[in-house]
Structure 1
Amino acid sequence: MDIQQLRTFVAVAREGSITRASERVHLSQPAVSAHIKAMEDTLGLALFERTPRGMDLTRDGERLLERAEQTLAAHRALLEEAARIKSTLTGRLRLGMGCNSGTEALGYLMTGFAERYPQVDVVLRHGTSRSIAEGVRNGSLDAGFYNETGEPETDLSVVEISRFAIYLAGPPGTAVAKDGPDWRRLADLPWICPAPDTCCGEAAEALFCRHNFRPERIISVDREQVTRTLIAGGVGVGLLHADAARESEATGEVELICDAQAATRLLFACLGERVDDPLLRAANAIVTATL
């Protein structure tokens, strides 16, 4: 006895007619009659009495009707739960976040997972841009936000979140000649910048190489707000992302010396070979929807 036979039995019992039951379950009348006969043969019971009015349940049929309806309800519940399980993401998403990058995009992603996939455990790790990209590549991270001043490796699948410039900034009153920065004078000042494996660190190294100097003193700071405060306090020159640089210039905290990196990109990346992973597919969809 299969589930379709149970559906047919309940339909005939509720409709009281082979004809109406066949319409309800979308089967031919002979097929409905065959289902009822197969059930009666399997159970060894007469379920209906054939009368001029149609099909009337026997006493045995009446006793089995409630059980049949309960069985059908349980079957529907099982299928619904299976569908929920299939559509519900579970597991752990190991996410990397580069210093001073993608805070707003990260917030959208974390909120999206909390609302749509509450059973996913998101584990966040901070690091430099280079360490985040390397973590994605070696498998210690599933995905990550990081800043890229060049071209990402071809083994990564990336979503570009935004682009921004990086500026070299100095304390108010830093002299800038009409024909451009005095790099000899700037080389004598302390430079406030993060490690070379960050976007600002890479921009600083590019300036040192381009103008053939290295500052006598480098103050290593990996938080932009701290860099901004130190520059405003007259400690030295440093590198700021465009938003922070323009805001600081507008308030008179700093003086912008030059454009150090014209186009740095904020990327969300995962391994190209893992783009079809359900967790990463969901993460990419949330990130893309915010653009």
Structure 2
Amino acid sequence: MDLRLLRYFQAVAAAGRITAAARDLGITQPALSIALAKLETQLGVVLFDRDHRGVHLTESGRRLLEVVTQAMALLEEGRQQLTGLENEPVGRFVLGCPSALGCYLLPGLLPGLLESFPRVELVVRAAPSTQIEEQVAARAMHFGLCTHPPQSADLIMLELFRDEVCVVGASTPAAARTPRPWGEVSAQLRRSTLLYSSIMPQALKIIEELSALNLAPARKLDCGDVHMVAEAALGGLGLAILPRRVAAHRHPTGLSPLHPRLPTVADTIRLIYRSDMHRTRAAELLSDALVTRARALGKAAPT
């Protein structure tokens, strides 16, 4: 139904005269009369009784006026809400984050964000980096925190901070500060179980490099989850391949890099989002805050 005709109808009902309503609307009286006739034809009812004193709503007209008044109020409310979405920090956003990254990053990242944007609903979804990239590209997530370079050309990626994936083992504080003899370390590696997560491409690369250096472990155990890798290594099950920040989280002297001569893989944590994402005021503020706060937290080097 043409909203213009309904607004004309409202104006005539309020003015009680077609001439006065036409003047208020800034159109001619004949044009308004034609519009009213068109509306009555579309609805199949008579909306006004007409006499020398003006026009009066029929029962059908009164009922339509009630409905139109409610509908126009809802439309105005919707318009105001949309304006708010564009110009105010309000809305719902989904943030993807690998669980291992989230455990040490989110506790420092989210409290300030939630306090700064009380009208923003933030949903956090845990997933591997590759899945997060797919979900952001498919618009199922608005933002993603990734630990590998995204491959999609549709994504914007902003570097937050850097980490390093390496072979770690349970250690004493003194051992964490002083490298052990290389022969002792290489022998330990060859006879140990090496824990890793196959969802980390960096871990697979380190395993390949260890084999090339004739340092293949006696057994490799894919634990799937990065947290399980860390906990199993702390429990004495074996050595582990982990990001240094994950190894240092909550157990700063419990897991440490095994030796500086062992292969490592540089790791960069990035914020990603679609290049064509609808940049509402809330989206802009949230992305800026995520970058600023994550970079500040990333300056704290792992122990």
TM class, shorter-chain normalised? 0.5 to 0.7
Q: In the alignment, is residue 47 of structure 1 matched against residue 50 of structure 2?
A: yes
Query: Between the two proteins, what is the percent identity of the paired residues?
Result: 13
Aligned to 2:241: 239
Aligned to 1:52: none
Question: What is the 5 A alignment of 1:22-37?
Answer: 24-25=24-25, 27=26, 31-32=28-29, 35-36=32-33
**1:152 maps to which of 150, 153, 166:** 150
Q: Following TM superposition, by how much is the alpha carbon of 1:47 offset from its aligned partner in structure 2, in angstroms?
A: 2.5
Q: Following TM superposition, by how much is the alpha carbon of 1:237 offset from its aligned partner in structure 2, in angstroms?
A: 2.0
Contact 1:192 1:239 in 2 (8 A): yes
Q: CA RMSD in A?
A: 5.5
Contact 2:194 2:220 in 1 (8 A): yes
**Structure number with bigger Rg:** 1
For 1:146 and 1:40, locate their aligned partners in 2 and report how far apart those are by CA, in whole Å: 59
Contact 1:101 1:145 in 2 (8 A): no
For 2:270 and 2:210, locate their aligned partners in 1 and report how far apart those are by CA, in whole Å: 24
Q: 1:172 to 1:267 in 2, by over 3 A?
A: same
SS of aligned partner of 1:153: coil
Structure 1 residue runs of 5 or longer lacking an equivalent are 50-55
Q: 1:202 to 1:70 in 2, by over 3 A?
A: same
For 1:181 and 1:215, locate their aligned partners in 2 and report how far apart those are by CA, in whole Å: 14
Q: Structure 2 counterpart of 1:170, which letter?
A: G
SS of aligned partner of 1:222: coil
Q: In the alignment, is residue 10 of structure 1 matched against residue 7 of structure 2?
A: no
**1:222 maps to which of 198, 221, 224:** 224
**2:265 maps to which of 261, 265, 273:** 261
Superposition TM-score, scaled by structure 2 size:
0.55
Q: In the alignment, is residue 69 of structure 1 matched against residue 65 of structure 2?
A: yes
For 1:98 and 1:191, locate their aligned partners in 2 and report how far apart those are by CA, in whole Å: 25
Question: What is the 5 A alignment of 1:76-87?
Answer: 76=72, 79=75
Aligned to 2:43: none
Q: Following TM superposition, by how much is the alpha carbon of 1:9 offset from its aligned partner in structure 2, in angstroms?
A: 1.5
Q: Following TM superposition, by how much is the alpha carbon of 1:229 offset from its aligned partner in structure 2, in angstroms?
A: 3.2
Superposition TM-score, scaled by structure 1 size:
0.57
Contact 1:3 1:72 in 2 (8 A): yes
Contact 2:48 2:57 in 1 (8 A): no
Post-superposition CA distance 1:213-237 (Å, at most 9, x none):
2112223223333333333344332
Contact 2:193 2:220 in 1 (8 A): yes
For 2:136 and 2:32, locate their aligned partners in 1 and report how far apart those are by CA, in whole Å: 59
For 2:246 and 2:284, locate their aligned partners in 1 and report how far apart those are by CA, in whole Å: 29
Contact 1:187 1:215 in 2 (8 A): yes
Question: What is the 5 A alignment of 1:90-169?
Answer: 98=98, 100-102=100-102, 126=127, 128-130=128-130, 132=131, 142=140, 147-149=146-148, 151-155=149-153, 157-160=155-158, 162-163=160-161, 164-169=163-168
4+ runs of 1 displaced by more than 6 Å? Answer: 81-84, 93-97, 115-118, 122-125, 178-181, 283-287
For 1:269 and 1:100, locate their aligned partners in 2 and report how far apart those are by CA, in whole Å: 20
Contact 1:167 1:258 in 2 (8 A): no
For 1:263 and 1:137, locate their aligned partners in 2 and report how far apart those are by CA, in whole Å: 20
Aligned to 1:172: 171
Q: 1:232 to 1:102 in 2, by over 3 A?
A: closer
Contact 1:22 1:32 in 2 (8 A): yes
SS of aligned partner of 2:100: coil
Post-superposition CA distance 1:248-287 (Å, at most 9, x none):
563x3234335733333355467x8xx56x8x99x98797
Question: What is the 5 A alignment of 1:272-283?
Answer: none
SS of aligned partner of 1:226: helix
Q: 1:48 to 1:123 in 2, by over 3 A?
A: farther
